[in-house]
Amino acid sequence: MPHHDSRATHGPAANHGPAANHGPAANHGPAPRRNFLAEALAILCGGLATLPPIAAGIWAFLDPLGRRGAAAKFLPVADIASVPDDGIPRQFAVVADRVDAWTGFAAEPIGAVYLRREKGAEKVEAISATCPHAGCFIEMDQVEKCFRCPCHNSRFTLSGGIVAPSPSPRAMDSLECEVDGKGSIAVKWQNFYTGIAEKKVKP
């Protein structure tokens, strides 16, 4: 096949001259005319053929957008006896049934919460351990008697208030909290968007 030498004469440049006269291929037709119908059809068919895999892929890839976390509900966290009324927060694990895609976990720790009571108070305050700045896990600084986020050094008072200057745009997130007649503390477990001044619940 005499392709190597004839190729250079083809292509749009060939429009300008009778390319068929070049090279030894005797049965070359006339110079390629632009056949818009054929070109459009080729693009259309090729596009249509490639569409289903891409569409199916994107359809499945977007699946997480339609999913919502478990509805916020009150979860038993601790007994009131384990939260002395000394103003010092204590950390408790939040345990709940959790669904992770196909897996159902029964009674798994899903997060942590700080509980504290003011001196002589019956009321329990619950604060989420998730930093409102970037979502790190806030720790108690036993020496300085404050909360400190290990990631960017946001500091908070023991009641969760912001200590300026702080990378965190807002105070620690308080959670709704109930104590039943038997002294069992339940916390309404919620996640909030981080990095914004407003305390906004994640869906």
Q: Which stretches of the chain bind other proteins, using CB under 8 A?
A: 1, 3-4, 6-7, 10-14, 25, 27-29, 32, 35, 38-39, 41-46, 48-50, 52-54, 56-63, 66, 99, 101-106
Measured from the CB atom, is 27 or 142 closer to other proteins? 27
CB of 193 to other proteins, least distance (A): 25
CB of 78 to other proteins, least distance (A): 26
The identity of residue 16, as a single letter, is: H
Measured from the CB atom, is 35 or 153 closer to other proteins? 35
Measured from the CB atom, is 36 or 198 closer to other proteins? 36
Map tokens 């104590």 to a residue.
179
CB of 11 to other proteins, least distance (A): 4
Measured from the CB atom, is 7 or 200 closer to other proteins? 7
CB of 17 to other proteins, least distance (A): 14
Cα dihedral 189, 191, 195, 196 sign: negative
Measured from the CB atom, is 47 or 161 closer to other proteins? 47
